[in-house]
Amino acid sequence: MASVYLALDVRLDRTVAVKVMHRSLAEDPAFVRRFIGEAKSVASLSHPNIVHVFDQGTDGDVVYLSMEYVPGRTLRDVLRERGRLSAREALEIMIPVLAALGAAHQAGMAHRDVKPENVLLTDDGRVKVVDFGLARAIEATNQTRTGVMIGTIGYMAPEQVTTGGADVRSDVYASGIMLFELVTGRQPYDGQTPMAVAYKHVHETVPPPSSLVPETSPLIDTLVATATAHDPAARYQDASAMLVAAVDAHRLLPRLSTPPTGSGAHLLTPPPMASGPHAVPPGPVPPATVPPAPQRTLIQPRADVLTAPPARRSWRPHWFLVGLAALMVVAIGLTAWFVSRPTMITLPDLTSLNLVSAQQKAASLGLDVKVLDGRHDDKVPEGRVLSMNPPAGTEVEEKSTVQLVPSLGPKLVMVPGVRDMTEEQARVLITQAGLKVGKVRRMENPDVQRGLVMETRPPAGERVKEGTAVELRISAGLTMPDVGGMSRDEAKAHLESLGLQVQVHEVNDDNEPCTVIAQVPKAKTEIDKGQAVQITVVNCGFSFVWPWGDHEARDDSQVVVVPSVLGKQVGDAKRELEQLGFKVRVRRAAGTGVVAYQHPRDTERPAGWTVTIWH
């Protein structure tokens, strides 16, 4: 299928293995599409016993995979050197292999070519499985669309031989064959041709390993028998189920003199010698059971197996019968080609559809649907399909599985309650909730201590999208009103109504008696409720010289009675006073927009006099 090169990833400065597919495959568009899809699926697997796929791509007519480089050797190398392994050693290899296959099976992926050549042992004893998905990608090529089986003959399940179909239970069968080979040092079937071996897989039952190695535990016999049952329904239903049985068997086996490591590390060194009157030490085996040469993945017409029994050296067929058999093989092959040719479907775009609608549409096309766990997304509404695998436009076989990921909509978080906290405390709590702080506004509020949070917008307890900006409203306490020019009694009453403690300081001054001429704190200063303030007032008994001088000499035509404008809107009051010839000064007391205080009022003043109003 491919050539593998040792390479350097210059961007991440790491050694990788680059698998370059043979040109005949790379030139087939159907293979390239399937190859890319399978590469993405394998890359999504994250398991310590699976060789990781880092990248995939094409460069002109070169199609390649960038994979984890595993220094060490294959399980085939170990078998060639050791001949066979003890039962415990074999299980210590099979357990991580089954764990890797189980992870793939849980993700809906079958390996389809399990064999010792695809099991790697690292220099530090870790076990890695490689080449997930390649056999499935090969099925997409023009030369293998129908009537062809793909895999390694010695490990091929009966259904792969007869129908070309393969699923996770086919991997279980191959695992059972591999366990048989590990404990006996040979495969269960041999023959002069690959087709003769395949014929035995279909028509014979795998013998128990104890029939070749008598001291083999019945636990191993049971594992092999269940994994290699002819009927897929009678096998372990996936590698995870076989893993559980393998772990139990390992636990029940008698321990060797050297404690097992569980990683296969001890397989890189010579094995210990067994002891006892009936012990058969692991090691070289008779010539008839020497492990075969590396098993290559084959692409072979399926019809050959259905009609070809194992070859017998003593039988010499009549050439007429041979020709007739050949014609029958061709006829059966053509029939199988027409009958078993899979229907290819181009996947429609199911993203953004309602999940139920997407499932119905996929089912109407003859596809199986697997709904994965949903993910939050800010753009795709809840209940719609967020993503699909394989992606839209991919060509797949009828009854293939399409994985759909539904959208959970935007992730919502609750606005935390931060009232009466400092701004810094509120910022920490809002950030921890997955939100961010937006505008910070200071607002007058006598009921909340100055500098503490009054409220948020959105309010506390409301559920909003993660990352939403939350406005903080900070109490500015009270704003000291401007009471300059107000009468003493009115100024004192107003300040006390705000909850302030008022101190009055009287002085002699040329200003109008009983009016405020100074205040502490100054107007517009932020203060707290209950704070002490001071107003300075002109002594009420102080003599005041009116601007017109001698009362007898005043010009009555220039004197106007200042009317009361209390309770009127500020704009209306200002216009009324200005029409009478007065100057108007507007000051803020409560900020209501309605005149609350006025000085002077209901008294005579000359035209041009300044009248102060407070609202």
What six digits make up the tokens of 516? 């405020």
Measured torsion, CA atoms of residues 386, 387, 393, 398, in degrees rounded to the nearest 10: -110
The answer to whether the CB of 58 falls within 8 A of the CB of 31 is no
CA distance 477 to 483: 18
- Find the length of the chain: 615
Residue 549 backbone class (left: φ over 0; alpha: ψ -120 to 50; beta: rest):
left
CA dihedral 234, 238, 241, 247 (to 10 degrees): 110
User: Residues 554, 548: contact at Cβ < 8 Å?
Assistant: yes
113 catalytically annotated: yes
- In angstroms, the CA 464 to CA 79 distance is 62
Q: What share of the chain is helix, strand, coil (3-state, %, to 5)?
A: 35, 25, 45
Three-state SS for 172-233 is HHHHHHHHHHHHHCCCCCCCCCHHHHHHHHHHCCCCCHHHCCCCCCHHHHHHHHHHCCCCHH
Contact criterion met (CB below 8 Å) for 575 and 563: no
Place of tokens 């775009």: 349
Closest residue by Cα to residue 73 from 134, 116, 112, 15: 116
In sequence order, the 6+-apart residues with CB closer than 8 A to the CB of 424 are: none
Q: Which residues of 463-477 are buried (b: 16+ CB within 10 A; e: fewer)?
A: ebeeebebebbbbbb
256 is written with which tokens?
A: 């060797």
Where b means 16+ CB within 10 Å and e means fewer, 75-105 reads bbbbbbebbbbbbbbbbbbbbbbbbbbbbbb
Distance CA 190, CA 193 (A): 8
The first and second tokens of residue 539, run together, are 């002594």
Whether 295 contacts 155, CB under 8 Å:
yes
Reduced to 3 states, what is the DSSP secondary structure of residue 80?
helix
β strands within 429-568, DSSP E = 436-443, 453-457, 463-465, 469-475, 478-479, 501-507, 516-520, 526-527, 532-538, 559-562
The DSSP symbol for 356 reads H
On the CB side of 451, CA atoms within 13 Å amount to 5
CA atoms within 13 A on the CB side of 556: 1
Determine which one of 9, 13, 59, 113 is catalytic.
Answer: 113
User: What is the C-alpha to C-alpha distance for residues 430 and 470, in angstroms, rounded to an integer?
Assistant: 8
Catalytic residues: 113
